[in-house]
Amino acid sequence: MKTITRSEKFFFPENFAILLLSLLLALHVFATSSPAMAQSNPATQSNSKEGKGADQPEPKKVKPLGPADEFNRGVPRSSLKGYLKAARDGDFERAAKYLDMRYLPGRMDQSQGPQLARQLKIVLDKVIWFDLDAVSADPDGFPDDGLPANRDNIGRIKTPDKTVDLLMQRVPRGDGVLIWKISNQTVAEIPHLYEYYGYGPFEESLSKIFPDAQFLGWQLWQWVLWLLNLVLAFVLAFIITWIVNLFLSRKDTAMRQQIKRFVAWPVRFLLWLLLEQVGLSFIGLSMTVRTLFRFDPVLPFVMTWTALRLVDLLVFWWGERLRRSGREDAIVLLRPARTAIRITLVTAAVLFWLDNIGLKISTLLAGLGVGGAGSRSSRAGPIKEPVGQHHDSP
């Protein structure tokens, strides 16, 4: 019968950690494949709201939203929505109808419309989303936005060289009727944007091999690469930690046994997830998938687990030193110190995760601890949000 020493009682229960990690990994996979586990793209939310509204009878149609148009380009909102839908459906011939292809630089012409529509869609999937409710539904656009009357700004995308404005522009149709399209100024910048946020040669090759199917902003080939990346990252993490433990096995001591357990469990899983993140940076995250990973609790849990086990390992090492020096009575003092450190680490991890998903803990604590915060905030003016939310690509 194995005797459990006092020092071994310091360690985090491995069976519970493994069970909890398994559940979180299942949640990780489910969250990556289920849109219900993440904050929805505002553009998708807007489409959903409009879809629900279509099922309800409208009491009265006071004014049509712009002139009648086959592609529903009478107002900026419907035109942008039409482009996004056509691009998501892979119908780039139709998506090109929403681009203003007039007066483009010499190297660009009308025949490149579908290609430019596809490249713009790839860029938008990676770096921006749209709140369609914030885009003008007036045939005249926004009159007081500081732009010419025939233009509306729907977002901005930063590159290392410059900031590109995404503009909608009111242009004459073939019969002279004014409709809204994505401005030729923005269209002229699509190759520049695609240079930084588009596919590389390898990605372009894969996109031609696999069917043109999309889910959560990722193409089918990107999902296949992600699964391969997940498997390869685990294999590499396993090999690295196995080699480390093989080296530690040369000398069998109690301390080395504890280090081997530390490397074989939390370090291995942490290394796996970090290697997976490296692989994801090459695949490129869509805005929707990036939001999913932002809410993903697996990496924060594994990092916390690793930190807790590291604390246990240090406590074990310090206890062994005290025991060798004949000060075993001082070992009991390590328990409250260890408990305090573990509580601090767990609390910090929870606060960090909550802050990462958008719940500003510092603001919440300040509001709870400082009187009169509500009255001060009530005097503050409204904050205007940009239509297009840009996020730098990882």
Question: Which residues, at least 6 apart from 85, have a Cβ–Cβ distance to it below 8 Å?
Answer: 47
Give the pLDDT of residue 60: 44
Among the residue ranges 74-88, 91-105, 187-201, 349-363, the one predicted with the least confidence is 349-363
Q: For 262-307, what is each residue's pLDDT tens digit?
A: 999 999 999 999 999 999 888 887 877 877 777 778 989 999 999 9
Q: Which residue has the higher pLDDT, 378 or 150?
A: 150
What's the pTM?
Answer: 0.68
Q: Is 216 helix (H, G, I), strand (E, B) or coil?
A: coil
The mean predicted confidence, pLDDT, of the chain is 81
Q: Are 345 and 361 in contact (CB under 8 A)?
A: no
Q: Where does the pLDDT of residue 63 fall: very low under 50, low under 70, confident under 90, or very high at 90 and above? A: low
Backbone angle region of 193, left / alpha / beta, with phi > 0 → left and psi within -120 to 50 → alpha: alpha
User: Please, is 60 exposed, middle or buried when counting C-beta atoms within 10 Å of its C-beta (0-12, 13-18, 19+)?
Assistant: exposed
Angle between helices 220-248 and 254-262 (to 10 degrees): 180
Rounded CA-CA distance 266/309 in Å is 8
Q: Are 46 and 62 in contact (CB under 8 A)?
A: no
Order of strands, edge to edge, in the sheet holding 178-182? 151-158, 163-172, 178-182
Q: Are 21 and 273 in contact (CB under 8 A)?
A: no
Q: Is 153 helix (H, G, I), strand (E, B) or coil?
A: strand
Rounded CA-CA distance 382/96 in Å is 37
Q: For 325-354, what is each residue's pLDDT tens digit?
A: 989 888 899 999 999 999 999 999 998 888
User: Please, is 71 exposed, middle or buried when counting C-beta atoms within 10 Å of its C-beta (0-12, 13-18, 19+)?
Assistant: middle
Q: Are strands 151-158 and 128-130 parallel, antiparallel or unpaired?
A: unpaired
Q: Where does the pLDDT of residue 387 fall: very low under 50, low under 70, confident under 90, or very high at 90 and above? A: low
Give the pLDDT of residue 32: 42
Q: Which two tokens stand for residue 282?
A: 């090459």
Q: Which residue has the higher pLDDT, 65 or 36?
A: 65
DSSP conformation letters of 366-392: HHHHSTTHHHHHHTSPPPPPPSEEE--
Q: Is the pLDDT of residue 379 over 80?
A: no
Give the pLDDT of residue 25: 56
φ, ψ for residue 370, nearest 5 deg: -115, 120
Q: Where does the pLDDT of residue 365 fall: very low under 50, low under 70, confident under 90, or very high at 90 and above? A: low
Average pLDDT (21-31) is: 52
Among the residue ranges 23-27, 256-260, 273-277, the one predicted with the least confidence is 23-27
Distance set, CA 163 to CA 147, 155, 186, 374 (Å): 17, 10, 11, 37
Q: Where does the pLDDT of residue 383 fall: very low under 50, low under 70, confident under 90, or very high at 90 and above? A: very low
How many Cβ atoms from other residues are within 10 Å of residue 52's Cβ? Answer: 9
Among the residue ranges 104-118, 141-155, 221-235, 274-288, the one predicted with the least confidence is 274-288
Question: Which residues, at least 6 apart from 38, have a Cβ–Cβ distance to it below 8 Å?
Answer: 31, 288, 291, 292, 294, 295
Give the pLDDT of residue 295: 78
How many Cβ atoms from other residues are within 10 Å of residue 92's Cβ? Answer: 19
DSSP conformation letters of 8-24: GGGS--HHHHHHHHHHH
Distance set, CA 94 to CA 32, 114, 155 (Å): 30, 8, 22
Q: Which two tokens stand for residue 152?
A: 């509306």
Q: Is the pLDDT of residue 5 over 60?
A: no
Q: Where does the pLDDT of residue 368 fall: very low under 50, low under 70, confident under 90, or very high at 90 and above? A: low
